[in-house]
Amino acid sequence: MSIRLRFTLLYTFILALTLTVFGFTLYTIQAQSTLDSLKRDLTIGANRLADATLKTGSPDFRPTLPPDNGQDRPPLPFDEFSSEQEFQAFPEREIARVLDPNGNLVASPFGREGDALPLSDEGLQALQIGTDWWQTDTVSNETMLIYSRPIIIDNEVVYIAQVARPLTERNRSLQSLATTLLIAGLLTTLIAFGIGWLFSGVTLAPIHRITQTAKAIGDERDFARRVDYAGPQDEVGQLASTFNAMLTRLQDAFQKVEHSLEMQRNFVADVSHELRTPLTTLRGNLGLMRRTPPMPKEDQVDILNDMVDESDRLIRLVNDLLLLARADAGRNLAKEAVDVLPLVEETCRQTHLLDPKRHIQMDVPAGLQILGDHDALKQTFIIALDNAMKHSSGEININAKKQGAQIEVRVQDHGNGIPPEKLQHIFDRFYRGEEENFIPGFGLGLSIAKTLVERQDGEIMMESEMGKGSTLVLRFNAIP
């Protein structure tokens, strides 16, 4: 069952229940109201009849005993029973009777014995003790509401006044009301179902579009699609906005994954390319060493030296790859206070051994402390100095200073500089300029440095100007 149908059925059920309660309440109120109105009219009529009876004759007329012949007295017509105007002008719609205390008919409009109205034994007993009595009964195939009240003189019940009205008209009106309410309720419910079905379709249309969009994205992997929604920011609008925001995050994540996969493919291709050359050289030299007759000793020495150089190159490449892999793997780096001056001095001393003729100028004040990992910082400074020595032949300057909550370390060389179109790629793995193929290395140093710096919540960038040299800028969080 669709949510649209469930919403429509729920709305229709609530409306039908409301209409049922309303109809039942209205019917009950109407039934009670008409009954109360009848009772008021009958009470007024009975009181008038009782007053007129009290004005009739004297107490000697009280029919407490049967006649001398032992037979019941026949009922009298109203015009013989009393000359009071009330008996002559009694409303036609009301049926009036006068009974004796024993419940025998005394007077009726026409004085017929068959004019007696029903009176139960329980009602007669109640009347004899002075209590009014209401009774509903069938008279001549017609339902009647009968009201009986005692007429009391000197604390003695002398007569019983009975007034009745048929309930046919009232019952017919109530039946008509019930039929009208039932038909109107059914029609209203059917119309409400149709309107609810249409409105729920309009309301749930954005959800349907969300479903279609999600399905299309899943089939086409197009995370650039969005849900079109121009309605109010209600629950559906918030759902559409949330879904679009989620698509934006998914698109970013998908692009990052695609970029990572592309970098991985490029990385594998670059590694394969870098490994192929020394391995091919080693395999060729081994083939030369197996030649028969053997090569001259001088040639064998050259081949062995070449094989040692290629083996060293493979070792350096593997070490760089292992270092890069550890940095990418998210190895936890320490967050401790590291003194900048001793670390820079130690790094410069070790780097100076690679080229004793090069001069490294330091300008690092004492007391600077970086919040980071000692070994990772040292590796980063070594890479920075090694990169400056490879790409320049003059003096290298390294200086540090505190800027706000950060410590900035700048490593400057005085080489030829980096063209702007290549500057944006210097941190890419295995990236090397075409004119730099003669410079030893694999293009991994700055990639490793970038990963290590960012793992310590730092920043790294390269500034360069053609003909004046380049400066590697490193920024780390300082110890307050």
Q: What is the SS3 string spanning the chain?
A: CCHHHHHHHHHHHHHHHHHHHHHHHHHHHHHHHHHHHHHHHHHHHHHHHHHHHHCCCCHHHCCCCCCCCCCCCCCEEHHHHCCCHHHHCCCCCCEEEEECCCCCEEEECCCCHHHCCCCCHHHHHHHHCCCCEEEEEEECCEEEEEEEEEEEECCEEEEEEEEEEECHHHHHHHHHHHHHHHHHHHHHHHHHHHHHHHHHHHHCHHHHHHHHHHHHHHHHCCCCCCCCCCCCCCHHHHHHHHHHHHHHHHHHHHHHHHHHHHHHHHHHHHHHHHHHHHHHHHHHHHHHHCCCCCCCHHHHHHHHHHHHHHHHHHHHHHHHHHHHHHHHCCCCCCCEEEEHHHHHHHHHHHHHCCCCCCCEEEECCCCCEEEECHHHHHHHHHHHHHHHHHCCCCCEEEEEEEECCEEEEEEECCCCCCCHHHHCCCCCCCCCCHHHCCCCCCCCHHHHHHHHHHHCCCEEEEEEECCCEEEEEEEEEECC
The reported pLDDT for the residue numbered 126 is 92
Q: Is 278 a member of any domain? A: no
- Expressed as residue numbers, the domain containing 13 is 3-173
With tokens 């702007």, the residue in question is: 420
CB 432 within 8 A of CB 444: no
Q: Is 326 a member of any domain? A: no
Cis before residue 74, ω within 30 degrees of 0? no
Q: Which of 118-132, 163-177, 236-250 has the lowest mean pLDDT?
A: 236-250
Confidence tier at 132 by pLDDT (50, 70, 90): very high
- Encode pLDDT of 153-195 as tens digits: 888 889 999 999 998 888 999 999 999 999 999 999 999 888 8
CB 360 within 8 A of CB 385: yes
DSSP strand pairing (105-108 vs 95-99): antiparallel
Statement: residue 61 has pLDDT above 50: no
The reported pLDDT for the residue numbered 71 is 47
Q: Which residue has the higher pLDDT, 451 or 191?
A: 191
Confidence tier at 220 by pLDDT (50, 70, 90): confident
- For residue 63, the SS3 value is coil
Q: Is 216 a member of any domain? A: no
Q: Is 456 a member of any domain? A: yes
Q: Which residue has the higher pLDDT, 441 or 213?
A: 213
Q: Is 201 a member of any domain? A: no
The reported pLDDT for the residue numbered 468 is 85
Statement: residue 411 has pLDDT above 90: yes
Instruction: State the average pLDDT for the chain.
Output: 81
Q: Where among 142, 173, 204 does a domain terminate? A: 173
The reported pLDDT for the residue numbered 25 is 93
Q: Where among 140, 173, 206 does a domain terminate? A: 173
| Number of folded domains that form the chain | 2
The reported pLDDT for the residue numbered 358 is 85
Statement: residue 426 has pLDDT above 70: yes
Q: Where among 119, 139, 173 does a domain terminate? A: 173
The reported pLDDT for the residue numbered 64 is 43
Confidence tier at 432 by pLDDT (50, 70, 90): low
Q: Which residue has the higher pLDDT, 172 or 81?
A: 172
The reported pLDDT for the residue numbered 62 is 46
In percent, the amount of the chain with pLDDT more than 90 equals 24
Mean pLDDT of 81-99: 74
Confidence tier at 438 by pLDDT (50, 70, 90): very low
- Encode pLDDT of 296-332 as tens digits: 888 788 888 878 877 876 786 777 666 666 665 555 6
DSSP strand pairing (105-108 vs 76-77): parallel
Confidence tier at 72 by pLDDT (50, 70, 90): low
The reported pLDDT for the residue numbered 22 is 93
Q: Is 70 a member of any domain? A: yes
Q: Which residue has the higher pLDDT, 402 or 68?
A: 402
Which of the listed ranges 21-35, 224-238, 369-383, 426-440 does the model predict with the highest average pLDDT?
21-35
Rounded-to-10 torsion of CA 331, 335, 341, 345: -20
The reported pLDDT for the residue numbered 243 is 79
Statement: residue 138 has pLDDT above 80: yes
Q: Is 243 a member of any domain? A: no
**CATH at residue 119:** 3.30.450.20
Confidence tier at 273 by pLDDT (50, 70, 90): low
The reported pLDDT for the residue numbered 176 is 92
The reported pLDDT for the residue numbered 306 is 79
Q: Which residue has the higher pLDDT, 364 or 6?
A: 364
Confidence tier at 434 by pLDDT (50, 70, 90): very low
**CATH at residue 403:** 3.30.565.10
Distance CA 94, CA 146 (A): 10
The reported pLDDT for the residue numbered 36 is 92
In percent, the amount of the chain with pLDDT more than 70 equals 86
CB 138 within 8 A of CB 171: no
Q: Is 262 a member of any domain? A: no
Q: Which residue has the higher pLDDT, 35 or 243?
A: 35
CB 218 within 8 A of CB 25: no
With tokens 């209401």, the residue in question is: 134
